[in-house]
Amino acid sequence: MKIKTKLRLGFGFLFIVVICFGGISLYHINQISERSKVILKDNYKSLIYVNEMRKQLDSENGNINLTNSTAFDKALQLEEKNITEIGEKNAVFALRKAFNAIRNSDITSAEKNIEMAKIRLQLRNIDELNMNAIVRKNDNAQKATEKATIYLSVTAFVSFLILFTFIVNFPGFIANPLRELLEGIKEISRKNYKQRLEFKGNDEFSELALAFNKMALELKNWDNTNVAHLKSEKQRIETIIEQMQDAIIG
């Protein structure tokens, strides 16, 4: 595998780690956001509708008449379409039943007081159901947030370990062969032609090692040839000197 390919794979791996961490973080953030929206979406609307119905009652001293009947009914219809909690359907049904009874023109004053008490009771029940639901969902969202924080912390720690290990070890992939090459060149400069490089794989460093080893071998052969030649010349000179000495003596 070529060095360029290894570098691409290495940086690609880093990119994937960062993307995965970002994706996990985004997922948990969206989950927290969705849970928060659920809390506000339905239960908050029910509280608004209940508050509107109470507002209409207060505007007429706690009574329902032609003045506030239409507005009260409008808020009640909206609440009937926004039932989300267990028990809320029964409370809304009882509220509708009491409201319809009050709008009956034949209702007596005593019966009206009883129905008005039922209306206030059911408004309080609906209000409590949704308030309790908000508290419960908020607690669940808080627990989910804490859980997501743990997940993100673990993911961040693992990502940090991976990136740290990669950052510490990956430069050695380039630096270590270069250091060995430098040491080899120093040995060659000291005429240690037995020095050899051994790099595993089939990348550019392996090709460089083969070229270095070939050079070292050729230098060794050349050095051996020079030594032999020098010895031969030395012997020849010594022979000439001996012959000259014999001639002088003779």
Q: Say if residues 50 and 126 touch (Cβ distance below 8 Å).
A: yes
User: Which two three-digit tokens encode residue 12?
Assistant: 């690609």
What's the distance, CA 97 to chain centroid?
Answer: 53
The pTM (predicted TM-score) of the whole model is 0.59
What gap in Å lies between CA 116 and CA 103, rounded to an integer? 11
Instruction: Write the CA distances from 22 to 136, 145, 153, integer angstroms.
Output: 30, 17, 13
Q: Say if residues 171 and 6 touch (Cβ distance below 8 Å).
A: no
Structure confidence by residue, pLDDT tens digits, 46-91: 999 999 999 999 988 888 888 889 999 999 999 999 998 999 999 9
Structure confidence by residue, pLDDT tens digits, 115-135: 999 999 999 999 999 999 988
CB atoms within 10 A of CB 125: 18
**Backbone phi, then psi, for 66, in 5-degree steps?**
-65, -25
